[in-house]
Amino acid sequence: MSGQFEQLVLPIGTTLDRFINTQQSNFPFAKGEFSQLLRDIAIASKIVNREINRAGLANIAGSFGAHNNHGEEQQKLDIVANVRFTRALKLGGEVCAIASEEDEEMIDTGNHNGKYVVAIDPLDGSSNIDVNVAVGTIFSIYRRISPAGTAPTQEDILQKGTNQVAAGYILYGSSTMLVLTSGAGVDGFTYEPSLGEYYLSHPNMRMPSNGKIYSVNESSFAGFPPGVQDYIRYCHEHNFSARYIGSFVADFHRNLLKGGIFMYPESLKSPEGKLRLMYECFPLAFIVEQAGGKASQGGKRILDIEPKRLHQRSPLYIGSAEMVESLEKHLLLDRVRV
């Protein structure tokens, strides 16, 4: 074949399915159930991707007219995504319990033989839907603690981030991507809509150890801890770029690729921060560490936090290792100041 012709028929590469099968043989714990669970999530994400893409036409953009357990206005697509993911996980049969941002209580799927539990934010950043800005899905997978064959308990879901066996996110952006870790690095897959498949496009993703992007909602600056204010001043003085979409997955993904820090501190407005530990902080903290970055509560590693409540919030500083360390140094000065 001439070089020119070869360009026309380049191989498309490894599908997510094939990748999962290969992983299965790499991990002793990853039996068929675990692979099936990842497939169920991938299938639900394809359906949600379809719904998002036609939101403007199908009358599913906009508010649903109700509020979730956090008092936040639910968008129609929040509900659609929640149903799509929870249904896929219930039907799949591998999961005994689900914690979802959209449901106040843990969901008992009825699959009491299922070995896994899932924490999920079905559609993060959904207030951005109406203005065609990228949104995401975030998920964590744990092995249950209670014995198989019994009803799941709170203990199954309230596990430390270090217990995650896998975590991932789907970014519904200019292209749709699924980024996944099962504890041996991070891999990114891009969705090819005409084939209906995810393909491995970003193998072994590594986060730059340093960067010049900081992402924070600066409107709350006056209420941030002094150390965070100092760090933001440091970012200004060193000509860092401010980039904040208001869609966590999209902000995180950009920083993962380019190097940067994302911050959602505690503030006078949100004394515990805004982001939820179980299905926002833990999964992205697992991913960031697997890519060489760091995630901190401001003095404590996020993955080491023992969750007490399903919808617990936490301050979050996540991104390039050196930037998170620098932020932590600024926070340490707060203690000296007092």
Interface residues with ligand AHM (CB under 6 A)? 72, 101, 121, 124-126, 217, 246-248, 274
Which of the listed partners (Mg ion, ligand AHM, none) does 217 bind, with a CB threshold of 5 to 8 Å by partner kind? ligand AHM
Which of the listed partners (ligand AHM, Mg ion, none) does 130 bind, with a CB threshold of 5 to 8 Å by partner kind? none
Binds Mg ion by CB under 5 A, chosen from 78, 121, 156, 187: 121
Q: Which CB, 211 or 283, lies closer to Mg ion?
A: 283
The tally of CA atoms less than 13 A away on the side-chain side of residue 93 is: 4
Which of the listed partners (Mg ion, ligand AHM, none) does 94 bind, with a CB threshold of 5 to 8 Å by partner kind? none
Tell me how far, at minimum, the Cβ of 95 lies from Mg ion, in Å. Answer: 20
208-247 positions binding Mg ion, by CB under 5 A: none
Q: Which CB, 35 or 128, lies closer to ligand AHM?
A: 128
Closest CA to 151 of 94, 93, 97: 97
Which of the listed partners (ligand AHM, Mg ion, none) does 247 bind, with a CB threshold of 5 to 8 Å by partner kind? ligand AHM
Q: Which residues contact 122 (CB under 8 A, 6 or more apart)?
A: 48, 78, 81, 82, 84, 85, 86, 100, 101, 102, 137
Tell me how far, at minimum, the Cβ of 251 lies from ligand AHM, in Å. Answer: 6
Residue type, 31: K
Please, where are the H alpha helices in 69-135? Answer: 76-92
Strand pairing category for 241-242 and 294-296: unpaired
Residue type, 55: A
Which of the listed partners (ligand AHM, Mg ion, none) does 176 bind, with a CB threshold of 5 to 8 Å by partner kind? none
How many residues of this chain bind Mg ion (CB under 5 A)? 2
Query: In whole angstroms, what is the distance from residue 307 CA to residue 221 CA?
Result: 27
Tell me how far, at minimum, the Cβ of 322 lies from ligand AHM, in Å. Answer: 22
Closest CA to 175 of 247, 106, 250, 119: 250
Q: Which CB, 193 or 246, lies closer to ligand AHM?
A: 246
Is residue 150 a contact partner of residue 273, using CB atoms and an 8 Å limit? Answer: no
Which among 4-12, 84-92, 103-111, 116-124 is the span making contact with Mg ion, rule CB under 5 A?
116-124
Which of the listed partners (Mg ion, ligand AHM, none) does 328 bind, with a CB threshold of 5 to 8 Å by partner kind? none
Determine how many CB atoms are found less than 10 A away from the CB of residue 110: 11
Determine how many CB atoms are found less than 10 A away from the CB of residue 299: 13
**What are the C-alpha distances in Å from 252 to residues 8, 244, 279?**
34, 10, 14
Binds Mg ion by CB under 5 A, chosen from 40, 78, 102, 124: 124
Which of the listed partners (Mg ion, ligand AHM, none) does 72 bind, with a CB threshold of 5 to 8 Å by partner kind? ligand AHM
Q: Which CB, 18 or 70, lies closer to Mg ion?
A: 70
Query: In whole angstroms, what is the distance from residue 104 CA to residue 192 CA?
Result: 35
Site residues for Mg ion per CB under 5 A: 121, 124
